[in-house]
Structure 1
Amino acid sequence: MSADVLLVVNVDSDPDPVSTYQEDASVLAKYSRMREIIGTHAGGAAAWTVLTGSLYRDRFYQDPFLRFWRALVADGADLVLHPEEDLYGPGPGTGPDSCSYYHTGHMRDVILSRARKMRDAGLALSAYRGGYHGFTTDIGSLLKEAGIGIELSCAPGIVWPEKAAAWGDAPLSAYYMSSVRQSDVAGDDEVDPLFEIPWAWDAVAPGLSRRFVVGENYMINEFSNLEAMKRVWDSVVRRAAERGEQQTVSMVCHTYTMGLPEFEGRLTSILDYVRSNGGEIVSPTRAKAIYDERAFGKKPERSAS
């Protein structure tokens, strides 16, 4: 019997600071430290982003990074396409009132070309996550064309039109997404809908000063603290008990903080807390398989980890 609460750990592998180039060895050292933590405290299961942007269009789709991605997959992790078209830009639409995610032609080339590069390398992109929670239903169609069936951008309660984030009334646990409106559950007549895994949320609206960005009401290692993340986790576990329904949610951590004791310690502590307090840490594909087993009677494949 699987746990009543499943957690997907989104590992955001964006280099930081964004304006300073870092050598491969420096980036890979941080990646390797995160891999060690995820292996020890999460059994290797995670959703590792593979960045693309105007500055880094091809860098992470060739060696030495391809070798690292293969090692992660062997650990039991999934690879996630993560376009940061404006952060590492500029991309089309960059400006105060719009973003690249609204430019479907541009995103089509990004998504399909990166998926093809990974396939050519013998690797699959299992999921997608937009920067700043950016997503559109047009992007959803492109993901299905690229063979990507899982989406990880949802932060319930967040509405940020300038970043194409529209999750104000999204479900609090994993769901199959409508192709018409991303925060709605797919109808029974929809064919092959995307599987959405929202960020863990305590269902408390952030204050006006943070209404566009996640903070202590969500589980995000770099923009919260340990006690707040525990509180959010506890609220998700409580929700599962009160509703009598399995909850499947995600959290976020960033590789750029590796080597900094404060952030490493916070991350290891929350992962241990989850596993000791009603949770099972899984990859996105494993989460989907467990969901499908419960909802449709499909038996999930055994976890690689």
Structure 2
Amino acid sequence: METLVYIVPSIDVSWDGFGPLNPGKNYSVTPPPLDECLKDAELIVELLKELHEGKSALTIFSGTYCRNEFMRPPFTEIWNRIEKQGGEILLHTHEETAGNGTHHGEESHMKSVIRYQFDFLKEIGLHPVGYRGGLYAYCSFLTPLLEELGIPIDLSSAPGCNKPEREAVWDNIPYSAFFLSRNDPNRLPCEEEKSQVFEIPLGADGEGGENINFLYIDYVDSDLENSKRIYDVVLSRARNENCPQIIYTLFHTFSAHKPRMIERYKQFVDYTQKNGAQAVNPTEARKIYESISS
């Protein structure tokens, strides 16, 4: 079967006790249990190798309540393995204040923490190729910063999401990958406004902007049938538009020790692979887009 959907399997590094804006977790900012997180990371590396031949995007958490822990040994050895087996590393900032709000709209703060993480990862020998804002957050001032740093890819977007209090406004974007406008991430660019930042959106059903509407595979209120339903919508778009779709899916390291979530993920991947999908890393996704568009 021909490839109709190119999927970047994106894995967020995180832990169960983190939920500063989640009332369901009582706005928890419990420090990460690093030993458990390390075991989860090890399992994720093997899972990505088994299911996707390593093709993936691994987003390394750095934020208000855990700035450097995931950027130090022994985690760094695991992230090196991700790169060696065909995956790629992304910056992933979470700049929240528990029960209160975020710093996502503060230009000086966001530029500072993104530069810090980028420089830190480069210094330890990793090669970040992209960015993903925590809670789907992204502001227009980030585009020239990413260009300046030579970060050509972003995975912050979730089509239909409209949460201005979190700086997560993606209600008018395409459902498949595109280049960001230099001035407005929520608008397709004119040629003179086209930036060098390639935006890959989260797979979406187009029926709303909540997690249940996205290919957030380990979302606790979703299930395998919902994820398959959303994928079928993406597949239908590819057929109706006569153009392959380029999207990402979302999973978290903390689900690696949960058999139910791992089984859900494996069954979802199996379903997509039998129905027109191919896993790629972010750089491959960009090259595919450019070849299709040329």
> What's the TM-score once normalised by structure 1's chain length?
0.88
Contact 2:182 2:195 in 1 (8 A): no
- Kindly provide the CA deviation profile for residues 51-83 of structure 1, in whole angstroms up to 9, marking residues without a partner as x: 111222222222111111111000111111110
Whether contact under 8 Å (2:31, 2:65) holds in the other structure is: no
Residues of 2 paired with 1:163 and 1:106: CA distance? 15
Residues 177-228 of structure 1: per-residue CA shift (max 9 Å, x gap): 11121122222123642100111111122xxxxx5x311x211122211011
Q: Is the 8 A contact 2:175 2:201 kept in 1?
A: yes
The count of residues paired between Structure 1 and Structure 2 equals: 282
Structure 1: which 5+ residue stretches go unaligned? 206-210, 297-305
Deviation string for 1:39-62 (max 9, x for gaps)? 111111111111111222222222
Residue 243 of structure 2 corresponds to: 245
What are the equivalent positions in structure 2 for 1:150-161 lying under 5 Å apart?
A: 150-161=153-164
The structure in which a higher percent of residues are strand is 2
Picking from 60, 64, 81, the partner of 1:54 is: 64
Do 1:12 and 1:48's aligned partners in 2 also have CA atoms closer than 8 Å? yes
* Matched residue, 1:139: 142
In the TM superposition, what is the alpha-carbon distance from 1:254 to its structure 2 partner?
1.0
- Mapping of residues 92-103 of structure 1, within 5 Å: 95-96=100-101, 99-103=102-106
The answer to whether the Cα contact below 8 Å between 2:9 and 2:56 also exists between their aligned partners in 1 is yes
Percent identity of paired positions between Structure 1 and Structure 2: 29
**1:177: which partner in 2?**
180
1:172-251 equivalences under 5 Å are: 172-190=175-193, 192-205=195-208, 211=209, 213-215=210-212, 217-223=213-219, 224-251=222-249
Give 1:15's aligned residue.
15
**Is the contact made by 1:171 and 1:183 (CA closer than 8 Å) also made in structure 2?**
no
AA in 1 matched with 2:105: Y
* 2: CA distance, partners of 1:22 / 1:157: 31
1:248 counterpart SS class: strand
2:262 maps to 1:259 = no
Q: 8 Å contact 2:9–2:281 — kept in the other structure? A: yes
For the residue of structure 1 that corresponds to 2:193, the secondary structure is: coil
In the TM superposition, 1:105-144 aligns within 5 A as: 105-144=108-147
Instruction: Identify which of 163, 167, 184 aligns with 1:164.
Output: 167
The range that moved more, 150-159 or 13-22, is: 13-22
SS of the residue 1:269 aligns to:
helix
CA distance in 1 between counterparts of 2:70 and 2:169 reads: 29
| Deviation, structure 1 residue 175 | 0.3
Asked if residue 30 in structure 1 is aligned to residue 33 in structure 2, the reply is no
CA distance in 1, matches of 2:142, 2:195: 15
TM-score (norm 2): 0.91
Map of 2:24 onto structure 1? none
1:152–1:2 CA distance, 2 compared to 1 (3 A):
farther
For 1:95, the aligned partner's letter is N
From 277, 280, 303, give the equivalent of 2:278: 280
Shift of 1:25: 2.6
Say whether residues 1:69 and 2:57 are aligned partners. no
Could you list the runs of 5+ residues in structure 2 that have no partner in the other structure? Answer: 19-28
